[in-house]
Amino acid sequence: MTTQARTDSNQDEKLGGIRITSPNPQGNTEESTLGFGVIDTTGKYGFVMSGHPVKGVGTWVSQGGGVGQVTTDRLTNRKSDAAYVRTSSGKIVSGTIYGGYRINAHYGWANMPVGAEIMQHGISTNVTTGTITSRQKEVYFSSNYKYNSGGMTMLIEATYKSASGDSGGPVTGKINSSGYVQLLGIHVGAKGSRAYYSPVDIILTELNLSRPLYSKDGNVKN
């Protein structure tokens, strides 16, 4: 478990729930939350982050310094607000989430029923809890939203609290009896009293990724 603060720069490990920055589509530097470590289909390592805080493919993402470039971020017909960052050589990626939360599995949207208890891990609100209230939601955010003319489909609606900067934060199940959490997706945004996340299975498919990193994978690097 890291002793650094969630918002510190130059974290030793690039793990879920820590602060990252990137140039957004408007050309401004935007803070967001790192989602989760992954293995892509070529065997390289990296992480998933929110898609709307980055310009697109080729964007450098920073965590105190440059940690990698956006490699996959299709702009049309999207069902997940997510981008894949392949980390630069020597940068350590972990299958854990800030605060000592260890991932041992991932569950897609069909495996999470309405009423299930979940947690969101973000740089602004830290860890918040709630329940799933609806699935396969289509939500319009704003005309400035990066994807699909202002909205996103296939979102999961929930009651956890969130704030600006939490975008991309990992969403997990509650800690199980073995002390692990199951990865469910990443936080997208909120409208009124409801928050929304993109499911992990949709993210993996759209970004052509193999699977999330689990804590058993240890610290890995390209």
Asked if the structure places residue 5 within a domain, the reply is no
Q: Within this chain, do residues 121 and 72 fall inside the same structural domain, yes or no? A: no
CATH number at residue 18: 2.40.10.10
Asked if the structure places residue 44 within a domain, the reply is yes
Q: Within this chain, do residues 105 and 174 fall inside the same structural domain, yes or no? A: yes
Q: Within this chain, do residues 81 and 131 fall inside the same structural domain, yes or no? A: no
Asked if the structure places residue 81 within a domain, the reply is yes
The backbone region for 185, taken as left when phi is positive above 0, alpha when psi lies in -120 to 50, beta otherwise, is left
Number of domains the chain is built from = 2
pLDDT of 29 strictly over 50: yes
- State the first-to-last Cα distance of the chain, in angstroms, to the nearest integer: 22
Q: What is the pLDDT of residue 1?
A: 44
Q: Identify which has the larger pLDDT, 1 or 181.
A: 181
Distance (Å, rounded) from C-alpha 156 to C-alpha 109?
7
Mean pLDDT, range 143-148, rounded to an integer: 88
Q: Within this chain, do residues 93 and 112 fall inside the same structural domain, yes or no? A: no
Q: Within this chain, do residues 86 and 137 fall inside the same structural domain, yes or no? A: no
Q: Within this chain, do residues 93 and 148 fall inside the same structural domain, yes or no? A: no
Q: Within this chain, do residues 193 and 148 fall inside the same structural domain, yes or no? A: yes
Q: How confident is the model at residue 64 (pLDDT cuts 50, 70, 90)?
A: confident
User: How many CB atoms neighbour CB 39 within 10 A?
Assistant: 18
Domain extent, residue 71, equals: 14-97+205-220
Q: Which strand (E) or helix (H) includes residue 201?
A: helix 200-206
Q: What is the pLDDT of residue 3?
A: 56
Asked if the structure places residue 9 within a domain, the reply is no
Asked if the structure places residue 132 within a domain, the reply is yes
Mean pLDDT, range 107-115, rounded to an integer: 95
Q: What is the pLDDT of residue 144?
A: 82
Mean pLDDT, range 68-84, rounded to an integer: 93
Nearest to 185 by CA among 81, 100, 32: 81
Asked if the structure places residue 78 within a domain, the reply is yes
Asked if the structure places residue 168 within a domain, the reply is yes
Q: What is the pLDDT of residue 210?
A: 98
Q: Within this chain, do residues 111 and 186 fall inside the same structural domain, yes or no? A: yes
Mean pLDDT, range 102-125, rounded to an integer: 97
Asked if the structure places residue 114 within a domain, the reply is yes
Q: How confident is the model at residue 46 (pLDDT cuts 50, 70, 90)?
A: very high
Q: Within this chain, do residues 45 and 120 fall inside the same structural domain, yes or no? A: no
Q: What is the pLDDT of residue 76?
A: 84
